[in-house]
Each structure stands twice: as C-alpha cells, then as structure tokens.
Structure 1
C-alpha cells in the first residue's frame, strides 16, 4: 500500500512519538521506515546523535529503517516534499508539534507539507496517545456535507480494507441551527436531516467496500468538542479528514474544526488535501 513510511525527526521527544505508529503500519504492509532530519549546519552532528538515540529507544524490531540527517537552509517542508515526490505512494507520519534542532516548529512544517502535497499525512497532535494506535480499531470520519469533506472517503475505504478498520461516519449537528449541515449537503432543502445524510453516506460506502459502516450525528454546540468527546467515548484508533485549500491546516473541514481535532484528538489524524483544490 505504501512504498515507504517517512518520519521527520527534529531531536525532540515529541517528534519521536511518530516512530511507534509508523512501525505498526510498516510491519503490516512490509514497508521501510525512512527517518529524515534537517538542521542548520552547526546543529547537524547533534541532531544525528539524537536521532540515533531515538531510533535505538523505539520498538522497531522487524522493520527496515533508513536514516538521512542533513544540513539545510531551506524550509523543512520543502525537503520533505522532495522526499515524497522522489518515491510515489509514500506516507508521512509526523508530530504536529515539537521543536528541536530543525529550528522550525513542527506545526508550521505540517502546514507546509499539507500545502504542497495532496496525499494523506498522518499527524499526531499534542494530546495524541500513541500507545492507543492500533490497526483494526475504530476509524472515525467527520463529514460536513461538502464535496471536499467527502473526498476523504476513498482513502478511509482503503485503510478500512487493508488495515481492517471499522469505519464510522459522523456529522456534528448544532442544536441552535438544526438542519444547517443537511441543507449544505447536496445543496438543497430535500437533503433531509443530518441523520439521513450520514446514514446515506454510510450505506453508499458500505456497498462499495463490502464492510459494515456505522454512522452517528453528534449533537453539540461546538464541532471540535463534539468530535473529540466522541473519539474518547468510542475509543477511536484513527480519524480521517480532508483539508480545505492550499493553506493546509489553516483552513480545514468546517473552517477550523479539523485543526482543533488534530490538536485535541487522543488518536492520530489522517489528513488529506484533495487534488481539486490545487491553485
């Protein structure tokens, strides 16, 4: 499924958390982990030592690990885009926060990667418990009724089939504005309720992949809180969501909802920017 799993490290323990989920995926699909690190010239030796120690401490048995640590004056996101472009079907697995010898906050690096690429990126927010990550758990897919949000469905379908996830489609209904999401879905008043929308999408996805697909409407005044509460209550293993626009994490599904989900999710978030949003 993936030719390689790319894990950017910056010398921080926060960034190194990405090694465990990357190893879980790599073992499942027999792909190598490619660890990359970039720093200013005077920090490269320190970064090499830190990366070597982090790899040694991680549980990477049974996984081929390739390491590249180089000096650079260019944006780290640009270097990562080059690595991904050189090997098609790569997956980036990285922390969305952290600061080490790269001289760059990983949040801005993640934004840059999403702004430059359309393939999925697996992000670990500051509240993500990497020990919870597993293959075959619950995969939650938030939808907002837009074509962009629904563009994540083929990716969620692929992960469900290959990694045996149990997919669940969810939408957040604001009690103070009932029917708003449903009116946006399919662009008409006949779209029905939020429940009928996610029910229909779940049935369509189930028919396509031959797997039972759950659905739910989360009633909450705030979308982020509603989704995060559901992730915790349902013991979700993964979230899959699409971005809006070339600005990456700055504008995501339902405005800043997915940005909030990434930062507060207890599990990794698979983020995707659809090709039709290319500027």
Structure 2
C-alpha cells in the first residue's frame, strides 16, 4: 500500500524529535503528507483560576510547537498539517488521531528509560505498538542509533520471519519501503535451540531434527524471497540457530541492516515472535529503527479458522493409521508434550495437541 500520510507524535523534547529525520527521508521520496501531533495533557493540582490560565498556556505552547515543526517541514517542500488534542490519556489520544486522520504510517521515538516526560517503555510508545492499526516505525532514543538515510544509500531492511502468517505481517510495508528506496530485504529465520531440545538422549537424533529444521527454514525463506522478487524487490536470506534476539542483532550487524521490520506477534500470536520478548528485546537493543506491524487482519482470519479445528481433527482421526517403532513413538510423544506446553492456555491448538499426546500415552500404557 502506498504511503501517502505519515503521523509523527512529539512531546516537545529533543529525544522525541529523533523521529523527524526518518519522517523527512520517507516524505521527501514518497511525497507523503506529514501530520505533526502533540497531545496536550491537562495541568494538575491547581485551583480553578490557575488551571484555566495554565490550560490556555499549555495549549498555546503546544500549537506554537507543532506549527514550528510543520513550517520546518514545509521549508523542505513537505506538506504538513498539525493536531493538538487535549487529553490526559496520551496513547488513547494518539490512537484517536490515527482513527480520524487515517495515516498509513506512524513514526515515533521510544524515548528510552532515561527519557523525559511520560514516553517510556511500558507507556506511550509501547501502548501504541500494542494497539496501533497501522505500521509504526520506532526510533530508540537512548544509546547509539544509526540514522536511517535511504536517500544516501539503498537501505537493507532485515525482516525476521518464523514461518507463520502472523510473522509475515511486516512484509507488505517492508516491500513498499524497499520499492520506494530501491532497497533490499534480508529475510531471516532463527531456529531456537529449544525447538530441538525435546529430542531424547542422543546428539545424533538432535542433529537430525536440527538439520530438518534448517532445511525447512531455507525452503520457507526461499519461497518468501521468490514472492518478494516477483514484486521487483531484491531479497536475500539469512538462517541462524540460537537465542532469537541476540542472533537477530548479530545478523543485523553482519548484513549492515538499516532497519528491522517485524510482526508484533508470530505463529499463534504467542510463540517465537512475542511482543514483550523478541519485539521488545529488539526495541531496547537494536541500533537501527524498528518497523513494527500488528497482524490484526490475519488474527481475525485465524479466529474464524480456529472454531472448527477440533471437529475437523476428530473427523479424520479414525482414518489416519501409521506404524511407529517404540523409539519413534517416544520421540513423537516428547514432541507433543513440548508443543502442548508452548501454546498458550485457551488456545484450541494446545487443547488438540494435549488430547493427541494423552491418547498416545494411553495407547503405550495399554501395550
């Protein structure tokens, strides 16, 4: 989807304004209009007369501030508009601006833990990432951060994937940015060591399972790369084994990534790409901006598909007959137990995996 409007939330601090260089780079190339937003928070602990005067002052200061930023953007031939909603609920006010003004993209600073004001991890930036219906590019305000300069050199955008529809939520926006700036997508898959840890006893068996995981990862990434290249975008693949966040950060450094584009959730919504673990880990440690996309539409489709899952499984279970050695059965049983623990409580897939695991356990006990 083309980027025609970009929203940039600011709070008047230099830390928040770290997002502006990305806004300028994207807007100048896409000719997108920029919406500059500053939420005005009501003054507190004042008498009525003092409060009215203080309210008028903070509103005036906010309007002057966003107008100055807008004028700076117009000075470099970027169309700009402003908004100064008055609300104590900053994330709620920003989400309302997204609903009313319909931007295609939000670009903002995290502020970091040492930042000024209320924009800290667990507050505005994190709330927006968790609830925004549009993609959000986040610039880490604390520590060393490489500037995103796609007009200086074609960007390399790292896209972590986990093999699920959820995990691909960031792909369309990443492809759009790569098209605009003639960049390259680096499609990455990290196979966690825990994924093969359930295989019992022998290193050989573990290596066999790991080899299968790596083979499947390569096949999947090659398929995605083919889809990306079909849209006239360059694509490369990277595969690693180990803890997800450190490996992704290492890949980003090795390939000289200019941005990381990631879904806020992966697999069933709570597996490898979990908001609060992988995404949050990258937010706090990545030296490049992070594009985060919520897989909202995919999630809705998934809910529709999950309802008949158990009935469909029962329909075919009597028809599926396979023969396993005792060792093969033990491996399958260990794998089922592992995955039953991975899926979140209440997930229909967890219930089905648990049912099959218990059925296999009863079968072995009967023998």
Shorter-chain TM-score: what band?
0.7 to 0.9
List aligned pairs for 1:34-49, cutoff 5 A: 34-41=35-42, 42=54, 43-48=58-63
Pick aligned residue for 2:110 from 83, 96, 99? 96
Q: 1:49 to 1:3 in 2, by over 3 A?
A: same
In structure 1, what is the equivalent of residue 234 of structure 2? 212
Pick aligned residue for 2:224 from 197, 201, 204? 201
In structure 2, what is the equivalent of residue 164 of structure 1? 182
Give yes or no for the alignment of 1:253 onto 2:253.
no
Give yes or no for the alignment of 1:25 onto 2:26.
yes
Counterparts of 2:20 and 2:164, CA distance in 1: 33
Where structure 1 has 5 or more consecutive residues not aligned to the other structure, the ranges are 181-188
Give yes or no for the alignment of 1:270 onto 2:291.
yes
Q: Tell me by how many angstroms 1:33 deviates.
A: 1.8
In structure 2, what is the equivalent of residue 116 of structure 1? 131
Counterparts of 2:168 and 2:79, CA distance in 1: 35
Q: For the Cα contact (< 8 Å) 2:245–2:282, is it kept in 1?
A: yes
Larger Rg: 2
Counterparts of 2:73 and 2:235, CA distance in 1: 34
Where structure 2 has 5 or more consecutive residues not aligned to the other structure, the ranges are 43-53, 199-211, 304-367
In structure 1, what is the equivalent of residue 353 of structure 2? none
In structure 1, what is the equivalent of residue 97 of structure 2? 83
Which structure is higher in strand share? 1
Q: Tell me by how many angstroms 1:88 deviates.
A: 3.0
Counterparts of 1:235 and 1:60, CA distance in 2: 32
Aligned CA-pair RMSD: 3.3
Counterparts of 2:127 and 2:24, CA distance in 1: 24
Instruction: Using CA pairs under 8 Å that are at least 6 residues apart, name the structure with larger relative contact order, 1 or 2.
Output: 1
User: Residue 150 of structure 2: SS of its match in structure 1?
Assistant: coil
Task: Using structure 1 for the length normalisation, give the TM-score.
Answer: 0.79
Counterparts of 1:19 and 1:79, CA distance in 2: 20
Give yes or no for the alignment of 1:134 onto 2:150.
yes
Task: Using structure 2 for the length normalisation, give the TM-score.
Answer: 0.62
User: Residue 11 of structure 1: SS of its match in structure 2?
Assistant: coil
Counterparts of 1:169 and 1:201, CA distance in 2: 8
